[in-house]
Structures are given as structure tokens and as C-alpha cells.
Amino acid sequence: MPVTDPDARGRWGPYGGRYVPETVMGALDALEAAYLEASRDAEFQNRLDYYLKEYAGRPTPLYFAENLTKRAGGAKIFLKREDLLHTGAHKMNNTLGQVLLARRMGKTRIIAETGAGQHGVATATACALLGLECVVYMGSVDTRRQRMNVFRMELLGAEVRPVDSGSKTLKDAINEAMRDWVTNISDTFYCIGSVVGPSPYPQIVRDFQSIIGSEVRSRCLEREGRLPDCLVACVGGGSNAIGLFHPMLDDASVRMVGVEAGGLGLDSGKHGATLCKGSPGVLHGAMSYLLQDVYGQVAETHSVSAGLDYPGVGPEHSHLKDTGRVEYTSVTDEEALDGFCTLCEAEGIIPALESSHAAARGIRIAAEMKPDQVVVINVSGRGDKDLEIVEGLA
Amino acid sequence: MRIHEQFAKLKSGNEAALIGYLTAGFPTMEGFLSNLEEAAGSGADIIEIGIPFSDPIADGPTIQMSSQIGLANGATLPAILKAIRDLDLNIPLVFMSYLNPLLAYGQDRLLADMIHAKVTGLIVPDLPVEEAASWKSAAESRGVDTIFLVTPASPEERVRRIAEASTGFVYCVSLTGTTGARHDLSDDLPAFLDRVRSFTNTPIAVGFGISGPEHIRRLLPHADGMIVGSRVIDAIRNGEDVGGLIRKLKDATRK
């Protein structure tokens, strides 16, 4: 049993739980039971494995980035290529799992929130494949800065509903999705895109994403004859990071670094570095670290990457911060853009701005390590969606 | 005044409680305070004071809007507690707040300060019974009622548990959805209220979507209290006479 499974009430230490309107409590119980049943059902697992392999393209490569390694002049840098997964990000691992689960539960309508649009696209894709109705909530700031993803979702048959309340970003999209869920609880399945939300979502999403770390672990042993010395991933809600970290949490020699959005700098007040600068609180159904003011009002965040522009973070990450098992740090918008350009130039890989945060930090970490050591950077998504933003900043 | 005393008094007069809702700080802090006095003076038997929160996931557009304005007007818990401390309304007041502002203020400090401000009940829409143990016992020892919400989607076992955990009254949500005035109420609502009633002797109140006297008259045989929220906020926004609306609604609660 991995060291960080939640307790019977869905908690890692004080974090997690179910802080939701009563209307959805029964649905969460039903989801928990259905998930437990599905996870023990070989046919469900076979079906998921089939789609992950034949449709989405797993396993993804663990690529030895030789040029980047030379540049950094330290440890060997490997890139986990989740950007090569169908739809261009790790999100597909989770949406295939959840939408299959929804169909198994007899739900006919899927709702989702999205920030950068990657989870929205992955949900719309799974719904197109498996024949379910799909509605995606997206902050109106994000529908503008990620409009190609809006078009993608619409092509895939989803309805995209722009959200104009609050900060008009990911946080508000989740609020609106929750309101939809409360209203349409009987036929609707809420496909949450990160390891956030009420129990059992953080565990379900983590389990579906853990294939990333499982593949890294076995491929690294096979190719290098050793475990990685350090894993680096970006953290917004934290799904790609927990997916990479979780299968190796019990491997004490593996250092793990989560990289948050430093925005314009941690002292600027304009960032999304929840674990670096936040304090415990309750948002979107779970207790976790949270960017908030002294009155418990949730703070507005900023990041050049829409996917990291979120004031909360997963409860398991909150716990891993407190226990010290994972280090959490941040890089600024500017540093992330440097990471983006470096990966483009050195390796011919255009990463998502989210993943560029991990790249920027991972390259620096590798530079301080020995040549026989191994650093794995999770390239959680590809950067096509971000080209307009980068062009605008250049 | 404690909530159960108010319900007992109303029962002996053969009427149901009219429970009004006002968002603190909306339309202004002064406007909120004068509406509070106006509503209490016009027949509201209990008033829920909504504590604005940045992310009100259980609320529809009306209360989202009033919360945003309340926040912009500085309606934080310390400011609200200070503003209402010296009012003498002679009816029970209840706080309705999402959990996070309460956590930031601190459980013990909040309950003590609520009692000083004569607020004797607490409704937390994102705190289901499973997560409420420490709040419940702390509130009980301070003399604050903990009011839980029960919905038509709650399975039987949860209805029983919620009815048992609630003190003051049980908050029956009329529909599966967010807050907001509705034109029609569900035909299944009376049966739902009767089902909740079968589990408890605590008074039951119904809210979400209740917008006029005809709704209240229809539900009168099935509930001890009628909660009107978004309709009141809409009235304030539209410049209607709040006292007049409350009087009209209160009249409908008399059997």
C-alpha cells in the first residue's frame, strides 16, 4: 500500500474531505462505490488500457534529451513525453478513465471545467469517442487567451460555456461546473480535471494519472539500470505532478520537485504559487493550501499559463508539502518563457507554458547534479495552444 | 432570543416563521443595516445574514451578485459583527456562510463573538454533517444552533442523520439546484417536507426558490418556516419597498 493513500474520510492528514453542498453528497457516495467496483473489475481495467494504448498512444516515450543535458552540464535529463499523448497533454489519462466510469454508472451527460483548455479538449474527446453529451465551463479570460482550444472543443461536439463571474478563470469555471452539477445531479457526471475537489476525486484522478510515474519508473530501470534521482513537474491543481510522483513516493532515494507558477514574482502578489505562499483553507470541496486573504476570501491569481492560474492545489500535495516528501518551488513567467525557448531550440520540442515551468527548474536542478545521475522532467503538454501568447510577449 | 423559543411562540399563535435573508454589505453596509431593521420591524421572525464569499458555489446569480457587492463594500466578518452588535432586533439572527471565512476568523472566537452580537444560529452550505463534528460540539456549548441543509437528492439515511444533527430548525432545500427565486415549485415538494418531518420534532423550514405569498400558503401545511432569500435581494436591487414585501410574505404565514 503506498504511503499516501487517504483515510476512510478521504483525507491525507488534515487535507481533503468533502466540503460540498448536501445535494451532491449522495452522488459522491455513489461515485466512490462505483469507482471501487470498477477498479476491481478486470474488464473495466482492460477497456481503459485498450483505449490508453490503441487510441491515446501509451506508453509515451521517456526521451533522453542529450542536447539539453549538454547545455545544463550536469545530470542526464530525460523528458517524459506526455505532450505526445492524444490531444497533446496528460489530461487524456484521466478523462478516458472518468468518462468510462460515467458510462458504467449510466450517466448520459458530462460536465467539466477547464483552464488552459487541455482538460476541456480531453473531456470533449473522450465524450466524442464514447458517445456522451459534453458541456465545458471555461472562464471568459481563458476562452480569449486559449481560443483555439475553444474551437477544438466545439469541433468535438462539446458545448463551451464562458464564465463571466469572479476572476473569469479556472477557479470560476469550477464554481460554475459545481452549480451545474448541483442542478443536474441525477443524469450528470462531473469530470474533474485535476487532483482537487471533494473526496474521492483527488484519489481517482491521481490513480488515473499514476500511469505516468509507473511508466517512468520501469522505463528508467530498464534503460538506465537505476531509478531517477530527481523528478520535476509543474503544479497547478497538481495532476501531472502527482501522476509522476505517486508511484515512486516509497522510493526514498528519488527526490521530487513540484514547480508552481511564480507569475510576476512571489512578492508581487501576482502569482499562482499556492504551496509556496498559501495557507490551509477550504475551496471547491476540499481542505488544502489556498491563496487567500486574512478574511478567508480566495485571492486572485496570475500566471502566464492558464493551467497554473489557480488559487488552490490538491490535498495530497498539501500533505506532501507538510511531510517534506516533496519540495515545492516556483518559477516566474519570465523564467518559464526561457524554459519554453530552451526546449524549442535545444530539442525541437514546443512544450506547453505549464510544462515550461518544470523545464526551467529541471534544467537548473540538473546543472547542480553529477553526470551519472538522472533527472526526469514531465513535459505534461505541448505548446501549440500557447503560440499566440508567446508571440504576443516576444 | 433562541430559535426554538421563536418557533414555540409562533406555533402557539398558529403561524409559521418567515425567515428573511439579507447579504451583509449589500447594497451598502448602511443599506444592509437599515434593511435588517426594516425587515425585523415588518414581521420577519428570523433573519439569515449572508456572509459574502468570493466563491459561492451553492448560490445562483442574484446572491452571487449581492455577495460580490458586499465584499467590495468591505463586509468582512469582523466588520459585520461590529456593525450588528448594538442593534436590538428582538428576533433570532442566523449567520449563513461558506466555511472558509469562518475558518479564517477562528471557530472559538467566532462563536463567542456571534453570541455577543446576538447571532444564535449557523448555516454553512459547504459543511455537510460528516465534516461538522467539531463545529457542532463547539456551537452547542456556546448556545449556537447548527442548522444543516437537507435536499430532495439526500438518500433516506442522510435525511435521518441531518434531521438529528440539526438544532433550531432543519433547512429543507426545495429543489436540486442553486439559490434563486423561481416561478414554480416542484409538485414533489410537500411529500419531501413530510418525509423530513417524519424523522424529527425539530421545526423544519423550506427555502430556495420561494418567491411569493402563494408559495408560502401552499407549503404552510408542510413546514414550520419559510425562507425567502433571492426574492428579497431582488427587491432591494430593484428599489422595491422591503418592509412592504416582508409584510406581504408574513401575512401568508398565518394559518
Please give, rounded to a whole number of angstroms, the shortest distance from the CA of A382 to a CA of chain B.
Answer: 31
Chain B contact for A192, CB < 8 A? no
B contacts of A164 (beta carbons < 8 Å):
none
Among all residues of chain A, which has the CA nearest to that of B53? A297
Please give, rounded to a whole number of angstroms, the shortest distance from the CA of A286 to a CA of chain B.
Answer: 10
User: Which of B56, B58, B101 is the closest to A295 by Cβ?
Assistant: B101
User: How far is B96 from B82, CA to CA, in rounded Å?
Assistant: 17
Please give, rounded to a whole number of angstroms, the shortest distance from the CA of A333 to a CA of chain B.
Answer: 26
Q: What is the mean pLDDT of residues A204-221?
A: 98
Q: Do B148 and A22 touch (CB under 8 A)?
A: yes
For residue B227, what are the β-bridge partners? B19
Q: What is the mean pLDDT of residues A242-269?
A: 97
Among all residues of chain B, which has the CA nearest to that of A186? B153
> Does residue A243 have a pLDDT over 90?
yes
pLDDT at position A3 is 53
Query: Is A91 among the catalytic positions?
Result: yes
Interface test with A, best of B51, B100, B166, B196 (most A CBs within 10 A): B100
The parts of chain B modelled with pLDDT lower than 70 are none
pLDDT at position A210 is 98
Interface test with A, best of B129, B173, B176 (most A CBs within 10 A): B176
Average pLDDT score over chain A? 96
Q: Do B105 and A186 touch (CB under 8 A)?
A: no
Please give, rounded to a whole number of angstroms, the shortest distance from the CA of A33 to a CA of chain B.
Answer: 15
> Does residue A1 have a pLDDT over 50?
no
Over residues A88-103, the pLDDT tens digits come to 999 999 999 999 999 9
User: How far is B90 from A334, CA to CA, in rounded Å?
Assistant: 59
Cell reading at A155: 469541433
pLDDT at position A394 is 74
Interface test with B, best of A7, A9, A11, A19 (most B CBs within 10 A): A19
Please give, rounded to a whole number of angstroms, the shortest distance from the CA of B3 to a CA of chain A.
Answer: 22
A contacts of B56 (beta carbons < 8 Å):
175
Q: What is the mean pLDDT of residues A328-334?
A: 98
> Does residue A2 have a pLDDT over 80?
no
Q: Percentage of chain A with pLDDT > 70? A: 99
**Cβ neighbour number for residue A359 with a 10 Å cutoff:** 33
Q: Do A281 and B151 touch (CB under 8 A)?
A: no
Tell me whether the omega of the peptide bond preceding residue A315 falls within 30 degrees of 0, making it cis: no
Among candidates A94, A292, A113, which has minimal Cα distance to A201?
Answer: A94
Beta strand segments in B195-241, E: 204-207, 225-228
User: How far is A241 from A238, CA to CA, in rounded Å?
Assistant: 5
Please give, rounded to a whole number of angstroms, the shortest distance from the CA of A187 to a CA of chain B.
Answer: 12
Residues of A (167-186) whose Cβ lies below 8 Å from B: 171-172, 175, 178-179, 182-186
Q: What is the mean pLDDT of residues A315-333?
A: 98
Tell me whether the omega of the peptide bond preceding residue B27 falls within 30 degrees of 0, making it cis: yes
Interface test with B, best of A183, A185, A295, A298 (most B CBs within 10 A): A295
Over residues A21-37, the pLDDT tens digits come to 999 999 999 999 999 99
Among all residues of chain B, which has the CA nearest to that of A21? B126
Q: Do A166 and B60 touch (CB under 8 A)?
A: no
Tell me whether the omega of the peptide bond preceding residue A198 falls within 30 degrees of 0, making it cis: no
pLDDT at position B165 is 97
Q: Do A296 and B102 touch (CB under 8 A)?
A: yes
> Does residue A191 have a pLDDT over 50?
yes
ipTM entry = 0.95
Give domain B3-251's CATH architecture: Alpha-Beta Barrel (3.20)
Over residues A68-83, the pLDDT tens digits come to 999 999 999 999 999 9
Q: What is the mean pLDDT of residues A307-324?
A: 96
The answer to whether B26 touches B62, Cβ cutoff 8 Å, is: no
> Does residue A204 have a pLDDT over 90?
yes
| DSSP-assigned letter for residue A381 | B
User: How far is A45 from A370, CA to CA, in rounded Å?
Assistant: 40
The answer to whether A392 touches A353, Cβ cutoff 8 Å, is: no
Q: Which of A117-126, A139-148, A257-266, A366-375 has the lowest mean pLDDT?
A: A139-148
> Does residue A116 have a pLDDT over 90?
no
Among candidates B123, B230, B223, B132, which has minimal Cα distance to B177?
Answer: B230
Q: What are phi and psi of A375, to 5 degrees?
A: -115, 135
User: Which of A24, A27, A294 is the closest to B104 by Cβ?
Assistant: A294
The answer to whether A285 touches A18, Cβ cutoff 8 Å, is: yes
- What type of residue is A295? Y
Among all residues of chain A, which has the CA nearest to that of B105? A295
Provide the residue ranges of all domains of chain B, joining segments of one domain with +: 3-251
The answer to whether A116 touches A352, Cβ cutoff 8 Å, is: yes
Catalytic residue positions of B?
48, 59
